[in-house]
Structure 1
Amino acid sequence: MVLAAAGTGKTSVMVAKILDLVDRKIASPSQILTMAYNKSAATELDERLSEKAQKSNVHLEERPQISTFHALGRKILQESGIDTRLSQLTQDSDKLDIWVSRWLQTYLLKHFDKLPTLIEMIAPPIDPMSYRSAAAFQRYQRDNTFSTIKGEKVKGFQELLIANYLFIKGVEYEYEPQYPVKQRVSAGVDYRPDFYLPQADVYLEHFGISRDGSTRIDIDSVKYNSDIEWKRQFHESNGTKLVETYHYNWVEGTLNNRLDSLISELEIPAHPKNKDEILKHINESDYISDGAKILRKCLSAIRSEGLSPAAIFQRLTHNDIIDAKSTTDLLTQLHDDYIEEHRSNDSIDFDDMINLATEVVASDEFIPSWSQILIDEFQDISASRMKLITTIIEKSKTKPALTVVGDDWQSIYRFSGGKLELTTRFPDLIGSYSETKLQKTFRYNNSIAKTAGLFVMENPEQYQKQIQTHTVVDTPQVYLLDDKKNGKDALETKIYEVVSKIRSHDSQG
């Protein structure tokens, strides 16, 4: 394993390794398999190899195979007589979006009871009280949108549940209506209760407190409980009726029961929506498009990592997904139907190129003959790609040597299946190995190196490195960007200013 920091010459290492193997006659070019992350990287590596071979007077009687993983998989399948026609869903992302959206609509029609599962996938039901820092909770709020079946944007998951409950029960409601003007003006506040139920002329507040009155970490519990009392007195003094639900109702699983009791006590006529009415609103809302986006990501992870239903369930459970069993059922059905779509059209996708190739090698339908395997950008390798490589090693006529080059500090492809732990836990996967660190960079200065290193090495899973830089400065070169202007958000303006400044120092603009 060669751990090469940014700007230390990873590509040069790969080129030198290939030429050294050929020059010392350790392997012929045809016995060397070199893996690049993508097509452009493979092309660059091939060009650099030709250039360096000429300068070094190393004669390459034939070209070593420099390939992407998909191209390698396709080659193995083709040589094994397997059709490698790509499906339309793989070649056109818009068609895949449409297919997943239609699949979801059909699935809900057949499995209407899975609607809560879909909602929880779109808006994760995390207990606000579980957060240990205000920043963590605010990040959760910022990263998630809470949309009701009616299409309203509400502030949190529990309000979403209440709104959807009222809608499904056929109880009219308004979300965060303005309290009557006269009372608001006299009180000197712009008071907006959570819900108003016009059929009973009643206001409903959902209070975020536990049974002991405690609140989430970013809220002053004393003030919050004082505000609750103020609201109760405010309604009483103005002759309006207030009913209440609480965070602990949701925690204890009694929120729906509490709402049932309130609707009954208030004698509000309920006209429950039927399945068709609910699905009509679902199809017209953002639920289908938002759900389809999430399902595409899940499908990609399942495909790229070759996850079984048991592995899906384990991962969901590990990430504290409340209804992991139901979510596993949904994702497994999506994957099964996706596979069947390909089979019915005699086509494959990019993941099939790797997964099927692994099966072909494992079953001895393809016998590898490489004696040297080199992998570039190893930090971004996925579980399925690594399985293909280990299967090739196991099934080769001669056990090939494996050389991997990468930088765990630059792992950025987790969204497409990259698994950093295959790098950081390399000994557990491979066993005995040698490790070399390239720590002198020619790309950036010592100020940037120090700042980046302090940040990355906060993660104990990362390899510890002491980066040396060719360029040394004695003044700070890392700056924080204030994205405010006159107290207002101005990120776009600030970015434009930075880009303009960079261009002013570039001769080509």
Structure 2
Amino acid sequence: MQLTTHPVIKWWNQFWKKKQVVDLSSTSLKVNQSQSEIEIPLDTLINLSIEKGIFLYRLIVESEGNDVVILKGYRKSELMNFTQKTTDSLLFLVVSSDRWQSYQQSLETLNTKCCYLSSYEWQPIAAVYQLVCKLQNLGISADHLSNPLHKKVFEQGKLLSAESISELGRGIHNQQVAPLLMSKFKVFFDEVEKKPLTDKQRMACVTNDDHNLVIAGAGTGKTATLVGKAGYLVESGIVKPENILMLAFGNKAAAEMNDRIKERITSISLCLKASTFHALGNEVLAKHYGFKRSITPFTEQPSQFTQFIDDVLSARAENDPQFKFNLVHYFSSLSTPGKSALDFKSIEEYNEFLSSCRLITLNNEWVKSVGELRIANYLVLNGIKYQYEADYKFKTRSVERRQYQPDFYLPDADLYIEYLGLDEYNNTAPYIDKDEYLASLEWKRDLHVSKETNMLELYTYQLKRGQLQSSLKTALIDYEVISNPVEIELLFKQLKDENESQWQGLIDLLQRFLGLYKEGQFDINEVKSKLMTGGYDIERTEAFLDIFEPILTAYQEHLVNTESIDFSDMIAEATSHIENGDYYHCYTHILVDEFQYISGGRAKLLKALLASNVNIRLFAVGDDWQSIYRFNGADLSLFTEFSKTFTPATAVQLDKTFRFNDKIHAVSSQFVMTNPAQIKKQIITHSHINAPAVRLVDIKSDMEKLKSLTNIKQRKNQAYIVSLQRALATLNRSADKRVKWYQCLLLDAFVKKIHLN
């Protein structure tokens, strides 16, 4: 059917060579005007309205997406007839739809409150409301529908509201459903584990959002919750065992999970097996290629991997002078993190950092800071003679002051260099008297002016920004200091041969970084871009990446040439194949243990699985307080900011621990919560005691008694051993008297291993 304009308007359009043609088909409206052609699907219509103009009438067509088309120059009768035909065509489309049955089932589920609904399952309910609103706007009522099912859905849809079908409405529905499900499956939750599940564990089991996070503090029963969840999904008829994918982070954890399921839910143990992320990745690749890929021997022979990196470094240095220089520069000056006094809250913390640094220059001098180390070694590498903390050429000592000793003196250029502990706003570290420091600096400046000597000032903030070397280079040019770069070959050989442990440390660092880089599925250009714009100690970062990139290239080429992969490739390649639709599975629920260990690469794998089919749910269990694998690529923010990566999401906190008493919990939770990144938890302990349960061991007095040990680290380690032996002896005596054994947990922030006799 075609909508015809008034004859006068038609003549006018022809005279001016304008076009306005409106055609109605069984599925759409086509509007062809002079400058455009629009096709409006009938099922997207929201409203058709007729308005009177000055002489004639116009039709306003509103469709989804806030699109509005205004058609002018028609008789009212023509428009009335056309809108009726359009409405009839739309109604025919609506009643011919095969969605009515699913609409009815969704409304039934909503009204009976028998099921926890995901956002996908909520879509038909929202669609019913939108359909009813659309039909009512177009003047269609239940009387226009002949099918009883259609009438019933229409009448039920009229009872819905915009608020009730929103995400808030879904949340309210699920909050009402959860207690009903907990009651319905009470017997199951009472018996699935040796002890009945707690209320929060039951709530976690019945919560079945798109993405679910269970925050399970130590001893709150995360394994029991996982077993309960798997059992509940099968018991309630939501899924079959083979529709559940259970993932753990290690073979031991997966085996323990399987043993627990076999013990507690024997009926599903044959069809439900927990596996690791790597095992899943290996399965995906095996199905794609038709065979299992070979794993590089480097994964089980780290010494071979170390030798490989050593060989690549040596070969590259031999063939590329710039690479050799980069190695010497990094090895001699940049291997120590570019931190300064400004980065620490107390002098003790700063001294602790300095004691872990090897602040020895290429001239075999000890310096007092990382900035001074980099300045000294830059001067050495460029053949510029210097004296460290030599007396100023003029006498300045007095009753109030010692003889002035600038940080560096360049005799050939008669130039002094001072490395100043100031940020860009002339602030000092919080534990340094700012006024006194600035007064001392002003005295130095005045002295150099009065004695007509030159003082070059370098600053701590330049170190942080990665500008220390470039600032020094520019200043030396301004002062016409002549540089004569040293023979790098000899220096490289000397550094490598005489500093074997440091050379090995660099190789270990490259090896570790390579693993983390691949685990996170990073791109080298993105890493450079991100770190160069907002990173810390940019000079060190840039130098390291310049060394790392050839290692990465050589390693990847090695994997290709040997037709092998590493564990990171299992995750990354599997993710790629899943994203490309090359992996077929029947999983509807993914259950993940120890989610606090999740890395960026594993998170990408999960997201690919979740997107591989509709309505796949994620159920993750973990405890951010127990996240200890950051060194291995774990990204705690994926746990603490779960809903940013996985949305929509619901979190449930398990609130009762069976592992320790209230006194231990009070101390440990207060300690952990000093970290603002941790999630706050309100945990109830099963066990309560009236006596103190925590003893703090102070090593200060023992440190004083061990002054014969000059190395501060050795002294601290020995002080810990002595103090702990004394504390444990006290506990043993108490235990002997009461004929009772005590459990003891040692918390130590500094010593990795303490051997106690």
**TM over 0.5, yes or no?**
yes
Inter-partner Cα distance in structure 2 for 1:87 and 1:150: 42
Q: CA deviation at 1:380?
A: 1.0
Give 1:435's aligned amino acid: A
Output the CA distance in 2 between the equivalents of 1:83 and 1:105. Answer: 34
**Which residue of structure 2 lines up, in the alignment, with residue 247 of structure 1?**
458
What residue number does 1:239 align with? none
CA shift digits 1:182-222 (9 cap, x unpaired): xx9xx99999986688x98x997745355998754433456
Q: State the match for 1:494 in structure 2.
A: 720
AA aligned to 1:154 is V
* Alignment partner of 2:494 out of 255, 264, 281: 281
> Secondary structure of 1:3's partner?
strand
What CA distance in whole angstroms lies between the structure 2 residues aligned with 1:359 and 1:294? 28
Task: Indicate the residue corresponding to 2:301 in structure 1.
Answer: 92
Aligned with 1:405: secondary structure?
strand
TM-fit CA distance, 1:440: 0.8
2:283 to 54, 64, 75: 75
Compare relative contact order (CA 8 Å, sep 6+) and give the higher one, 1 or 2. Answer: 1
- The residue that corresponds to 1:446 in the other structure is 662
Aligned match of 2:641: 425
Could you tell me how far apart the structure 1 residues matched to 2:287 and 2:217 are? 37
Deviations 1:447-469 (A, max 9, x none): 22222323333444432211111
Query: Quick one: distance in 2 between partners of 1:208 and 1:90?
Result: 46
1:123 to partner: Cα distance? 2.1
Aligned to 2:696: 480
Contact 1:8 1:438 in 2 (8 A): yes
* Range that drifts further, 43-52 or 95-104: 95-104
Change (3 A) 1:169 1:435: closer
Please show how residues 146-185 of structure 1 align to structure 2 within 5 Å: 146-149=359-362, 153-170=366-383
Q: 1:84, CA displacement in angstroms?
A: 2.0
Structure 2 CA distance, aligned partners of 1:442 and 1:335?
47
Residue pair 2:371, 2:460 contacting (<8 A) in 1 also = no
Q: Distance in 1 between matches of 2:483 and 2:645?
A: 60
1:262-283 Cα shifts (integer Å, max 9, x gaps): 895xxxx986422212322332
**Corresponding residue for residue 148 of structure 2:** none
CA-based RMSD of the aligned residues comes to 4.2
User: What pairs up with 1:268-347 in 2 under 5 angstroms?
Assistant: 272-284=485-497, 285=499, 288-316=503-531, 317-323=533-539, 327-347=544-564
- Segment of structure 1 superposing worse, 332-341 or 36-45: 332-341
2: distance between equivalents of 1:195 and 1:460?
42
- More off after superposition, 469-478 vs 411-420: 469-478
Are positions 1:47 and 2:259 aligned together?
A: yes
Distance in 2 between residues matched to 1:208 and 1:388, nearest whole Å: 48
The whole-number CA distance in structure 2 between the counterparts of 1:32 and 1:120 is 53
Cα deviation for residue 3 of structure 1 reads: 1.1
Selected match of 1:9 from 216, 221, 233: 221
1:403 matched to 2:619? The reply is yes
**TM-score of the superposition, structure 1-length normalised?**
0.80
Q: Is the 8 A contact 2:239 2:588 kept in 1?
A: yes
Question: Residue 356 and residue 470 in structure 1: after superposition, are their counterparts in 2 closer, same or farther (change >3 A)?
Answer: same
Q: Could you tell me which residue of structure 1 aligns to residue 569 of structure 2?
A: 352
Q: Report the 3-state secondary structure (helix = DSSP H, G, I; strand = E; otherwise coil) of the residue aligned with 1:364.
A: coil
Cα distance change, pair 91–127 in 1 and its aligned pair in 2 (3 A): same
Contact kept? 2:579, 2:612, Cα under 8 Å: yes
Q: 1:75/1:492 Cα in 2 relative to 1: closer, same or farther (>3 Å)?
A: farther
**CA distance in structure 1 between the aligned counterparts of 2:254 and 2:587, rounded to whole angstroms:** 18
Q: Contact 1:31 / 1:371 at 8 angstroms: preserved in 2?
A: yes
In our comparison, the structure showing a higher alpha carbon Rg is 2
Give the letter for the 1:450 counterpart. A
Distance 1:306 1:151, change over 3 A: farther
Q: Is the 8 A contact 1:108 1:114 kept in 2?
A: no
Q: 1:334 aligns to what SS in structure 2?
A: helix
1:21 aligned onto 2:21:
no
| Identical-residue share of aligned pairs (%) | 30
Greater CA deviation, 157-166 or 407-416? 157-166
Normalising by structure 2, what TM-score?
Answer: 0.56
Deviations 1:425-444 (A, max 9, x none): 22222222332211111111
Distance in 1 (CA, whole Å) between partners of 2:356 and 2:585 is: 46
C-alpha distance in 2 between matches for 1:130 and 1:79: 51
CA–CA distance in 2 between the matches of 1:41 and 1:231? 63
42, 55, 60: which one pairs with 2:268?
60
Cα drift, residue 10 of structure 1: 0.9
Distance 1:91 1:378, change over 3 A: same
Q: Distance in 1 between matches of 2:690 and 2:529?
A: 50
- Please report how far the alpha carbon of residue 46 of structure 1 lies from its aligned counterpart in structure 2 after TM superposition: 1.4
Task: Check whether the contact 1:176–1:195 (CA below 8 A) recurs between aligned residues.
Answer: yes
Could you say if the C-alpha distance between residues 43 and 192 of structure 1 is closer, same or farther in structure 2, counting changes exceeding 3 Å? farther
1:374 aligns with 2:374: no
- 3-state SS of paired residue (1:435): strand
Superposed displacement of residue 376, structure 1: 0.3
Aligned 8 A contact 1:122 1:294 in 2: no
Seen in structure 2, the aligned counterparts of structure 1 residues 368 and 463 have a Cα distance that, compared at 3 Å, is: same
Please identify, of 293-302 and 149-158, the stretch whose mean Cα deviation from structure 2 is larger: 149-158
The alpha carbon displacement at 1:126 in A equals: 4.1
Q: Distance in 2 between matches of 1:464 and 1:61?
A: 36
Report how many residues are paired: 490
Letter in 2 for 1:62: L
CA distance in 2, matches of 1:448, 1:226: 50
Q: 1:420 to 1:246 in 2, by over 3 A?
A: same
Is the alpha carbon distance of 1:500 and 1:63 closer, same or farther for their aligned partners in structure 2, counting shifts above 3 Å? Answer: farther
CA contact (8 A) 1:105 1:283 kept: no
Structure 1 spans left out of the alignment, 5+ residues: 233-241
Q: 1:440 and 1:292 mapped to 2: Cα distance?
A: 46
User: 114-123 or 204-213: which moved more?
Assistant: 204-213
Task: Report deviation, 1:128.
Answer: 4.2
Partner SS, residue 280 of structure 1: helix
Cα displacement string for residues 222-249 of structure 1 (whole angstroms, at most 9, x for unaligned residues): 66678889999xxxxxxxxx98654349
Match of 1:498, as an amino acid? Answer: L
Distance 2:426 2:236 in 1: 75
Deviation at 1:424, TM superposition (A): 1.5
Q: Is the 8 A contact 2:334 2:374 kept in 1?
A: no
Q: Distance in 1 between matches of 2:612 and 2:472?
A: 58
What amino acid does structure 2 have at the position aligned with 1:247? L
Do residues 388 (structure 1) and 605 (structure 2) align?
A: yes
Which secondary structure does the structure 2 equivalent of 1:59 belong to? helix
1:290 maps to a residue whose letter is: G
* Residue of 461, 464, 478 corresponding to 2:680: 464
Q: Is the 8 A contact 1:119 1:287 kept in 2?
A: no
CA separation in 1, counterparts of 2:301 and 2:726? Answer: 36
Name 1:104's counterpart in structure 2: 313
**Alpha carbons 1:305, 1:417 under 8 Å: kept:** yes
Counterpart CA distance in 2 for 1:437 and 1:249 is 45
Instruction: Give the superposition deviation at 1:382.
Output: 0.8
| CA shift in 2, pair 1:345/1:424, >3 Å | same
Q: Would the aligned equivalents of 2:345 and 2:431 in 1 still touch at CA under 8 Å?
A: no
